[in-house]
Structure 1
Amino acid sequence: MSKPWFSRSPEDTLSELRSTPAGLSAQEVQQRMEQYGPNKLQEGKRKSVAVLFLEQFKDLLVIILLIAAVISALTENVESTIVIFAVLILNAVLGTVQYLKAEKSLESLKAMSSPTAKVLRGGVRVEVPSAEVVPGDIVLLEAGDLVVADGRIIENFSLKVNESSLTGESEGVEKDAAPIDREQVALGDQKNMVFSGSLVTYGRATVAVTATGMNTELGKIAALMNQTQQRKTPLQKSLDDFSGKLAVVIMAICAVVFALSIFRSHMGVLDSLMFAVALAVAAIPEALSSIVTIVLAMGTQKMAKQNAIMKDLKAVESLGAVSVICSDKTGTLTQNRMTVQKIYADGKLLEGKDLELANTPQRLLLKIGLLASDATYDPADGSSIGDPTEVALLQLANAFDVEEELYRQYHPRLRELAFDSDRKLMSTLHQLDGVPTLLTKGAIDVLLGRSTKLLTSEGPVPMTEERRAEIMAVNEQLSNEGLRVLAFAQKEMDGIRDLTLEDENDYTFVGLVSMIDPPRPESIQAVADAKTGGIRTIMITGDHKVTASAIARQIGIFQEGDTALSGVDLDAMSDEELDQILPHVSVYARVSPEHKIRIVSAWQRRGCIVSMTGDGVNDAPALKKADIGVAMGITGTEVSKDAASMILADDNFATIVRAVVNGRSVYANIKNAIQFLLSGNMSAILCVVYASVMGLSVPFAPVHLLFINLLTDSLPAIAIGMEPARKGLLRHKPRDPKEPILDRGLLQRIFGQGLLIAVPVMAAFYLGLSYGGPAAASTMAFATLTLARLFHGFNCRGEESIFRLGFRSNPFSLAAFGGGVLLLLAVLFIPGLNTLFQATALDMTHLLEILGLAFLPTLIIQIFKLIRGR
């Protein structure tokens, strides 16, 4: 087997190119397809649905419920057994569906290749599916083509390629051809390489494919994404920790209650087991996972209306803890288009909008920008084709009502010298006022050195050293502001003839035009708002350090005392050195995908919840690594959208700040919902433990507790999740991600409120005992607990009293209370249901007693909140 194409030496490469000038034969294509496989990117391994379903039963709390179901079956409690198994299967199905929906694939990476590619095979130009392109193929590229594989240029006709999907930068890259002289070939030079996923914006070229599929630069990014593991959100960690500790506590308490039931009250083993089952069902918040998912889903719907589309439900609450936003520059903080800023002509430095057409040098500056350009611009719809810097010049002309098409027709291009990255110049020949004139634009250092005169409003004057130094000083000033500077010059010719490189001398220098990819107007306010909320914004870009720092300073990211680092600087640093300087670095320039991951990881090592924004393929690994990856919905590649947790439908950085506010609100609502669920469960636990210690009958059948936990409790919990965001959330600092959701204050409220509810419930139990024995007592306790927890839903809407929160500010809470009451009445009075849920008949006196006892805890809590509020 021959060497892989992408690993061959220059001599091997040139030898094969010479031996196959007409491209590969059909037999060679087939051999290489077998050797390298199709031009596709690998998919990640997926678990089967059956495996995913079974994994849902690994949780310790689920195992406890399974044991409870088995014990219920042994005690011939059919109703409880059926309900418990139904709950477990339903939760497993929901968990499996949620995982499948959340699973990310790399299918969009494959879509980065165009459907077809033009290749030369057997001396014939043919179009083949991109998947069939193999190393060694000769691919023909033209303007508008998407590059389907990495390749080395062997023939180049002014090729310019947009590599923004890989580098993140909108500026086109000029390419060179690989020299056929084997002594001069330089395979390590990327200037004669094109890369998969890039777009040809100008010119054409013949390319020898060197790598396909996972061996391309795009494939390396795909592999990097596969290696990057997504981190659990703070809520996931907190709930996992809570579940584990709760399971241990439940098993310990169940064992104690089982022993007490046998030795203290002399119950039989099966009856004692029923006490343990009741306690397990009371303690396990069966609906907690579903409620959290529903609350998160409600939050995502609200955020979607504000142009923040959440792909990962679990990531919603992480937004509230975000303390660092690592943002890409191009297309995220900036507008992703070049715009003329300042011009210099006739000794004056002025804003582009202040250009004066009556001034001869300034008018000629605009004329050269129009005529010595290949781009096109349609002001009607804002569409453009060509190099962004040339488009910016056309937009400047349009601002002065100069029609590009008519002007070019009036001054047709007679000859041209195309732009060349070595010359750094582009020249075109036109008739201006009957005089053949060479118009040239390019790099200032080249063009200024070839100029012998300077155009002023008084006419051409000699280019002295003083005038040359003045122009260079202006260039330095503009460059320090992060602006890209183009120089313009003209030369009267002796006639209309073919141009030579020798003609690009003895110019009359006309002036300078500076341009920049400007910041989004809303980015400045968004960065300031983020700072108010205790969130640090970091710029990470592939642009030059000076340009990036200038933009960052304009937006408010780069502050006094901050510093900027380049990718080279990062490579020279160890992780320990980076950790030390990290708080002072606001800008990272000229960075690679690996650098971005390293920066995100460094902030995560400091315990920060990190958001990373971006739109290019090069951003995808860091988007996946970050706690919250944010992709651009309009300009973003499909790869970045797949890797992200959130997509901005409007590409507006300010939308991130609004999403953070919603994330904080969602977290607060989840915390309130957990308080509601666990305080209710605590009341049931205390009742069961009390009955066991006092030798009483079981106060609740397992089916009672499942009814409360899954039905009547779910409605208020969901309503709490719909609570509107309170004002001032952005003025608070991000919460500590290490802080458990069940902090000391919440645990105290859960226990205190649970005890407050348990007292009237046991009072109802004793009333039932006096009326009609254990069956009536269990029904009275069940009804009182259900109604008390429905009332308790109003207490858990927020820290303030219901009067300050407002009854009508969350109509869902009223609907949840009404729905819960109707469900309770149905269980108590509809034949069949009362049998299934083991409820006995109650009269009006019993109902009034239940209502009074159930309302008492809420009355006490609301009075306490009113007093504390005052």
Structure 2
Amino acid sequence: MNKPNQIWQRAGKDLLDSLQSGPQGLTTKEAQQRLEKYGPNELQEGGKKSGIRIFLEQFADFLVIILIVAAVISAVLGDVESMVVILAVITMNAILGTVQTIKAEASLDSLKQMSAPTAKVVRDGKTIQIPGRDVVPGDIVVLEAGDAVCADGRLLESASLKTAESALTGESLPVEKEETPIEAEDVPLGDRKNMVFSGTFVTYGRGRFLVTGTGMETEMGKIASLLKTTSEKKTPLQVSLDNFGKKLSIGILVLCAILFAVSVLVRGENVMSAFLFAVALAVAAIPEALSSIVTIVLSFGTRKMAKEHAIIRKLQAVEGLGSVSVICSDKTGTLTQNKMTVRQLYVGGRVIPAAQADFKDPIQEPLLRAALLCSDATVNEQGEIGDPTETALVRLGEDFGFDELDVREHWPRLGELPFDSDRKLMSTLHQFSGGYMLMTKGAVDVLLDRTLLGPGEREEIERVNQSFSEQGLRVLAFACRRMETMEVSLEDENNLLFLGLIAMMDPPREESKQAVAECIAAGIRPVMITGDHVVTASAIAKEIGILTPGTEAVEGAVVEKMSEEELKEFVPKVSVYARVSPEHKIRIVRAWQEKGALVAMTGDGVNDAPALKQADIGVAMGITGTEVAKDAAAMVLTDDNFATIVQAVKNGRNVYANIRRSIQFLLSGNTAGILTVLYASLMALPVPFAAVHLLFINLLTDSLPAIALGLEPHNDRVMHDKPRPRSEGILTKPFLLSVGLEGLVIAAATIIAFHLGLNYGGQAAGATMAFSTLCLSRLFHGFNCKAAEPVIFTRKFWNNKPLLAAFAVGTLLLVAVLAIPVLEELMQAVALPWTLGLAIPGLAIGSMLVIQLLKAIRTGFGRKP
């Protein structure tokens, strides 16, 4: 037989010997030497980048570099205004990016803060209290109820010890601990009953454990390592904007090179003059306001979401969440209430829903009274104290008017046999009807062996118990017996009278079922990933609609045995993963990502942090969530409500649609300007714009309407669409077609205006007409960009107040330029007769009507609601 090599397989004495420790603990000298050898009991972190370095790295972007070059050229050409605008925009974005990066790197700091600050250890045969960071392997640590566990270790003693491990394993109930070795070699973290782990805490009982791992060698340390090695993903908006910036800049440079060649070779212009005009056009054509507009739109989106209980820690997460196709959700505290609740009773030979419990019913009353009396929990205005299972029993009484204090005062406890993990029973003795009554609760199979049952009665109880278990319910059995004396012993827990069964569950949130249904309707696949048992997880998943016919529920052990390629093909079949480790969560998320899905991961515990960071969008719980989870996440739910995620998805999709509107407005308008210049060059006509015209258009008629379109009112229709493919960027073929057609229509109106001006008064009048028509056409074009279908003559045309304001401001400024002599001279414009003046709004409105007609043709003349 092989010698046990896992910590949980080995006997306590064997481990003490191997760590050169003993019942008296380490000596002070030995502890100091080990502290120097192993280092302090705290989580380490890699070298951090300085704030300056993070700031400078924000400029390592192709579009940003192009804009910096453009700013320098603008300064050389004397266009100081453009240089200031460009540098201000990219500096602002760099500052925002730096702040976000620094916040994102706070995960390890939060992990360190979770370590227990102090610990009671045995040194030189005496129990002393020391800082938690000074605990070393080989130390014997004393645990009592309420203590935080400072390190990983093997239990040497356990007196009804229970620890809450939900933050580490996802297990919703405190775990009963025992000191006996476990024979199996492969044991999931949640089933290592003879071990305790750093970052957990004691809810019941007492014990002692031998420290086997400190600092980075603990399970929490492994999570910290995962956080350091896990890379954060860019959202689709980041990826598409990166690609968009490169394509846009290259395209503009190519167009400017063509323009330069035409000017020199066809028109015979001076090489330097042609070069300077081409560069100036490139500066004007690159929408340097794009990044800031996108940031502003995202910022407004975050404000709206904050009012709806979703705090965004990273701006791009607004859009990223809107395109999520898979949500991997923790169960405990996320889909469920993280509170045990009684669901069913079995008493008097029948199953009774908890809502129909009746303390006045003489058949039910003994069971319900025993449940309340045989419990150490209390529920009051200050909260709940005690084991969640026992608090559920007390709450059952409170809900139906069976006051805890009144019952316990009427039937005072005179003695008890505390719960023991070996016998799996707890008994309390009470004064009762002139005598004494022993109330006993415990595991169903154990208690049935000690009760007096009639023929077939046990089989019926076991059948009901099996039915409860298949529903994922935790079942406790209750019994009693009369006593002649106040002296009680373990032998008295025999020959009991069976009272009934009480089945309970951590129930799903009321909103979860509807939220899951909305996710599915929106093409989003919800997946439950939990550390809880597979039966319990499956029951919850079925109830809320996650576990559907054709999908499976599996345990983490199944994932453990699979290769990455096997898991990639397996994940679409699975809706529930139970008894999983942090490593399993990351592998599942990565497998979905390899399938092309954009994955959101929700969670609240330390064990969720690596997967929250690995996921495209990490969503942490704000109330029950640990600081680790919050810092690793891109979004935090302040109400811990899964339904808030659905609203966040809706907001994200609307924000992305608004960003597309802004980009479409900018690109189609810039396209119109470039086409007008190219037309004039190819036709050997005078330059249609002065440099100051391009600057006016660039700074005023670009930014205000684009920002206003980013604030377009949200609608529910976006939830009828499927998520965008992960690989789909902003520059889709339909999008480019719309930009090209709309730019061409506006350019046509501008060219007509240019010819009218040329015919009237030469180059100056032609430039004034082209400039004015392009400005006003772009202002009207803002209404075209509101939707893919026609909006004219509908309420949607008027429902964006910021856009109406931007139109009014832009129009007034244009009128001022054409009507005020000082501004005319500054803007290099000339006075126009009233007939040409009327042609400007006529052409601008005409371009809008043509584009609206094109939209009607494209959508079949049908308007969506």
Q: Same fold (TM over 0.5)?
A: yes
1:536 positional shift = 2.0
Structure 1 residues 619 and 67, CA gap change in structure 2 (3 angstroms): closer
Q: Which SS does the other structure have where 1:157 is aligned?
A: strand
Q: Which SS does the other structure have where 2:355 is aligned?
A: helix
Task: Name structure 1 gaps, 5 residues minimum.
Answer: 180-186, 455-462
Q: Choose the corresponding residue for 2:579, options 581, 590, 596.
A: 590
1:119 positional shift = 4.4
1:843 positional shift = 5.6
Q: Which residue of 2 aligns with 1:616?
A: 605
Q: Which residue of 1 aligns with 2:742?
A: 753
Q: Which residue of 2 aligns with 1:719?
A: 708
Matches within 5 A, 1:163-562: 163-177=165-179, 190-357=192-359, 360=362, 362-378=364-380, 380=381, 383-451=383-451, 453-454=452-453, 463-464=454-455, 466-497=456-487, 499-562=488-551
1:833 positional shift = 7.8
1:716 positional shift = 0.8
Structure 1 residues 209 and 776, CA gap change in structure 2 (3 angstroms): farther
Q: Which SS does the other structure have where 1:538 is aligned?
A: strand
Structure 1 residues 19 and 132, CA gap change in structure 2 (3 angstroms): closer
Note if contact 1:632-1:641 (Cα within 8 Å) is conserved in structure 2: yes
1:473-514 CA-partner distances (Å, limit 9, x unpaired): 1111111111111111223334222x4433332322222111
Note if contact 1:6-1:135 (Cα within 8 Å) is conserved in structure 2: no
1:55 positional shift = 3.1
1:592 positional shift = 1.3
1:441 positional shift = 0.9
Matching residue's letter, 1:638:
E
Structure 1 residues 820 and 351, CA gap change in structure 2 (3 angstroms): same
Q: Which moved more, 1:736-745 or 1:28-37?
A: 28-37
Structure 1 residues 760 and 372, CA gap change in structure 2 (3 angstroms): same
Note if contact 1:225-1:620 (Cα within 8 Å) is conserved in structure 2: yes
1:707 positional shift = 4.1
**1:859 aligns to 2:849 (yes or no):** yes
1:740 positional shift = 2.8
Q: Which moved more, 1:119-128 or 1:579-588?
A: 119-128
1:646-668 CA-partner distances (Å, limit 9, x unpaired): 22222221222222222221121
Note if contact 2:334-2:603 (Cα within 8 Å) is conserved in structure 1: yes
Query: 2:296 & 2:124 partners in 1: Cα distance?
Result: 60
Q: Which SS does the other structure have where 2:159 is aligned?
A: strand
1:714-771 CA-partner distances (Å, limit 9, x unpaired): 1111111111123432222222232332222211111111122223333444555567
Note if contact 1:254-1:280 (Cα within 8 Å) is conserved in structure 2: yes
Structure 1 residues 849 and 765, CA gap change in structure 2 (3 angstroms): same
Task: State the aligned residue count.
Answer: 842
Q: Which moved more, 1:163-172 or 1:826-835?
A: 826-835
Note if contact 1:612-1:630 (Cα within 8 Å) is conserved in structure 2: yes
Structure 1 residues 507 and 157, CA gap change in structure 2 (3 angstroms): same
1:675 positional shift = 0.7
Note if contact 1:261-1:275 (Cα within 8 Å) is conserved in structure 2: no
Matches within 5 A, 1:674-685: 674-685=663-674
Q: Choose the corresponding residue for 2:553, options 544, 564, 576.
A: 564
1:213-266 CA-partner distances (Å, limit 9, x unpaired): 322211211211222222222222222222222233223222222222222222
Query: 1:706 & 1:783 partners in 2: Cα distance?
Result: 13
Matching residue's letter, 2:297:
V
Q: Which SS does the other structure have where 1:759 is aligned?
A: helix
Q: Which SS does the other structure have where 2:193 is aligned?
A: helix
Q: Which SS does the other structure have where 1:330 is aligned?
A: coil
Matching residue's letter, 1:595:
H
**1:785 aligns to 2:784 (yes or no):** no
1:777 positional shift = 4.7
Q: Choose the corresponding residue for 1:810, options 779, 787, 800.
A: 800
1:38 positional shift = 3.5
Matching residue's letter, 1:449:
D
Q: Which residue of 1 aligns with 2:4?
A: none
1:207 positional shift = 3.7
1:698 positional shift = 4.0
Q: Choose the corresponding residue for 1:869, options 858, 861, 864.
A: 861
1:28 positional shift = 4.9
1:788-838 CA-partner distances (Å, limit 9, x unpaired): 212211111112323324344111111112233355567678899878x75
Identity of aligned residues (%): 57
Note if contact 1:57-1:63 (Cα within 8 Å) is conserved in structure 2: yes
**1:729 aligns to 2:721 (yes or no):** no
1:282-331 CA-partner distances (Å, limit 9, x unpaired): 33121111111111121222222222222222122223322222221111
Note if contact 1:700-1:781 (Cα within 8 Å) is conserved in structure 2: yes
Query: 1:86 & 1:293 partners in 2: Cα distance?
Result: 16
Q: Which residue of 2 aligns with 1:62?
A: 64
Q: Which residue of 1 aligns with 2:186?
A: none
Matching residue's letter, 2:286:
I
Query: 1:35 & 1:556 partners in 2: Cα distance?
Result: 53
Q: Which moved more, 1:780-789 or 1:295-304?
A: 780-789
State the TM-score, normalized to the length of structure 1.
0.90
Matching residue's letter, 2:279:
V
Structure 1 residues 294 and 390, CA gap change in structure 2 (3 angstroms): same
Structure 1 residues 574 and 817, CA gap change in structure 2 (3 angstroms): same
Note if contact 1:286-1:710 (Cα within 8 Å) is conserved in structure 2: no
Structure 1 residues 510 and 72, CA gap change in structure 2 (3 angstroms): closer
Note if contact 1:49-1:96 (Cα within 8 Å) is conserved in structure 2: no
1:644 positional shift = 1.7
Q: Which SS does the other structure have where 2:316 is aligned?
A: helix
Q: Which moved more, 1:100-109 or 1:353-362?
A: 353-362
**RMSD of aligned C-alpha atoms?**
3.1
Structure 1 residues 701 and 503, CA gap change in structure 2 (3 angstroms): farther
Structure 1 residues 89 and 717, CA gap change in structure 2 (3 angstroms): closer
Q: Which residue of 2 aligns with 1:98?
A: 97
Note if contact 1:151-1:211 (Cα within 8 Å) is conserved in structure 2: yes
Q: Which residue of 2 aligns with 1:690?
A: 679
Matching residue's letter, 1:575:
E
Note if contact 1:6-1:210 (Cα within 8 Å) is conserved in structure 2: no
Note if contact 2:474-2:504 (Cα within 8 Å) is conserved in structure 1: yes
Q: Which residue of 2 aligns with 1:459?
A: none
Q: Which residue of 2 aligns with 1:457?
A: none
Note if contact 1:147-1:195 (Cα within 8 Å) is conserved in structure 2: yes
Note if contact 1:282-1:684 (Cα within 8 Å) is conserved in structure 2: no
1:699 positional shift = 3.5
State the TM-score, normalized to the length of structure 2.
0.90
Q: Which residue of 1 aligns with 2:148?
A: 146
Matching residue's letter, 2:861:
G
Query: 1:831 & 1:60 partners in 2: Cα distance?
Result: 42
**1:87 aligns to 2:77 (yes or no):** no
Matching residue's letter, 1:634:
I
Query: 2:24 & 2:691 partners in 1: Cα distance?
Result: 80
Query: 2:115 & 2:485 partners in 1: Cα distance?
Result: 48
Matches within 5 A, 1:763-782: 763-766=752-755, 774=763, 777-782=766-771
Task: Name structure 2 gaps, 5 residues minimum.
Answer: 1-6, 182-188
